[in-house]
Structure 1
Amino acid sequence: MKAKVVISITLVLLMMVPVFSAGSAEATAAKPVTFMWWGNETRHAATNAAVEQYKAANPGKQVTTMPNPFDGYHDKIIIQLANSTAPDLFCFSTEWLAEVAYTKNPVLKDLYDLKDLIDLSTMSENLYKGGEINGKLLGLPTGISGWTYTYNINKLQEFSKKTGKPLPPGPGQSWTFEQFIQYGKEFHDAMGPSSALIATSKDQLSHFLVHVLSEIAGAYYVNDQAQMQFTRANLLEMLSLFKRMTDVGLLPAGRQQVESLTGTTVTTTNVAAGNWAGWYSWTSNVAENEATSNSPIGIMAYPSLGRPEADGLFVRPAQFWSIARDSKNAEDAARLLNFIVNDGRSIAELKLERSVPPTEAGQKVLADMGILSGPSYESTRYLMQTAGSKYTPFILIPELTEALRNEYSKFIVGGQTAEETADTLMSQFDSILTRIRRTNGIQ
């Protein structure tokens, strides 16, 4: 999904919204938790089943479930939050967090206030802090995804037999970007002019660029205050690396990269033929890559730029579970949230309806059930163990990735120099991020 950073007009009402007290413990305990989410009938059934498990484990606790279709959900929850009629617990998109997080008193409850009822120790700090803005934890991930390097085992084994070279290093091993580039060159030289170690497409190339830029900068390229964390020199180094990867054949030829951004069949055709033998793609796309390439999938180690940190990697929350700031039943909502995220009985009911569970224990539940297995499971675990940056609501802003793609496309086919590309991108990024900060009231 792509980020859309907007702010609803209804949020101007927030300054007038009173904060209600939680009431007495006796009154709170007697009141059912209201729980709202969006999805299809399969997701509704799974979530309702998880709620029934919670009620069975907590006699006397009541939950009023409120399943919804996705259409209209955004406006509905934003309006409810603005006028204090929101459910106690609800699903909230990662793409909407910027709309509500930067006011003085956000309409989402700070979950740190409920930390005695929600076990955060089951998640990595980088993961749960993906829902933290200005020191307030406004949501916990419903599930996770992220970016990984994988490859067509059949094609790489063919290369290995032909050259005597080993398969790429995998999880638990390491290699540098220099070694990665050399491997890509050797693959291209051995397998022919139409071959490339890493495929490109619109999303894959955009995020590969961002990943390398962030690794070079030593911090994710945009932080949670919508500020650049890279320099012009970092951009020039990133462009130089991509030019080298293109020149040696690790990436497809520049004209093919540009064509792959337009949604043509150049990517799927070359992947299916085995010409483009690897991916920098979402962990959730591993099974799709396996089907398209008609090959088992292997996992590559993340190439390093000479230091152990993986600043260009983050674990992305699929969505957030959030509690309304004005909830009169916040403690029981927190107990339900903790059960949904951490209890094996809930995870066994939800399966993959909310993407891969955000905890290793949750993933193991599904692995033991045979639901989460193979490279999808392995690449997700590897990502969680490796990622060095927290998710921010500005990571996937389409204006930024579109600007990056457009200017890179001109550069990689020789339409403009690296210096011209870097200057243009610095100007465009500054303009886009200034507007985003102004729109969302970020100081």
Structure 2
Amino acid sequence: MELEKYTIPLTSRDLIYRYHKKSKVRQWTIGIFIFLGLVLFLPWTQNIKAKGDITTLYQEQRPQQINSPIPGKIVRWWVKEGDFVQKGDTILQISEIKEDYLDPNLVGRTRQQVEAKQGAIEFYERKARMSTLQIEVLQEAQKLKIEQLKNKLGQLKSKLTAEKAELVAIENELTLLTDQYERQKKMYAEGLVSQTQLQQRNASYQNALSKRIVAENKIAQTEQEILNNQIEQNGVEQEYLEKINKAEGDRLASMGSAVAGQGEKAKLENMATNYAIRNGMYIILAPQDGQIVQANKSGIGEILKDSESIAVIVPTKVNYAVEMFVKPVDLPLISNGQRVRFMFDGFPAIIFSGWPNNSYGTFGGKVVAVEQSIGTNGQFRVLVAEDPEDRPWPEELRIGSGAQGIALLKNVPIWYELWRNINGFPPDYYSSEPSTKTVKL
């Protein structure tokens, strides 16, 4: 009885070691290896991981500075930091500080100068027209005077012809009277005629000589008048030429003054227009819809320099994109139209890089530009726009926030990807199929 009291039951040992049960470890091990072997043949999407920032493809949609177009003094602020404005809304009002533009009626006075200069131009133009009329009158007077002298010259030439004909007649008569006088002298010497008859023939002969001398003097006088007429013609031409040249000089001087006045008038008009435009620069307007941030000036009465930054405006409407930075070794694997998956900062995501279709919280994009020059960080910049065929990007994105991109490459088995990584080989190079659809940004 005492031995039975101290005997230890063996049921607990049987329950722990279960010698009577058959082990299934071998089956489980074989099953796991078979499962892992099958997993090695599952497809795996090769990829390139790169970090980037949110940006936009359009320069006008990026944050931009609002600069003062002219130097001035702040008169009034119409907005404060954080306000949303529309294009054309007043942001700031400034006043003039340069002494050249302090006159409040500067534009009006400049336009008065323009009108005065226009009056001077019209005066010179009228003077030039009067000089032109004077030239025409002088040319007409010269023409009439020359015609008059030419007519007189014709008359003198006719007179000379008549006088020469008269001289010929006188010489013929003188020849006849000379013969008669010589015969009378012979007859008188022979006593055939009286002395009275000889004296009569001598008187007729002397009269003929006198007529010839008178006729020759008339011819000489007429020839002198013809010569004087020609000299007078030359004198008239020279006189009127001097008058015409003087009038032409006055006309050209007037035209030159008019042209110079036109130049001065254009300069004054330019100044008046510049002054009018400058007056419109005292009110600084919003260049586009957006939010005012980073105001660099405060208070009233502060001085602004030319082109000094006043504030920054962040556009309201933005077509977002991502700028990724890719290592040079991975650059040949990136091409336009290539698809990229993104994880944006602040948005939860569950990532299976090799199985992008099974990931959660990622957003799709397409490569639209690959820069050909390397950046200062030793990497190449790649711009990726929103994929229109994927779900839209969240509206809460802001320019400058971070993004992690996964560029999707070739589909390969898992065993190949493991072998590639063990050997340190890069992903397989491939050319993405050209997209026939236009990437909507």
TM-score norm. by structure 2 comes to 0.15
- Specify which structure has the higher proportion of strand: 2
Larger radius of gyration: 2
The TM-score, its normalising length taken from structure 1, stands at: 0.15
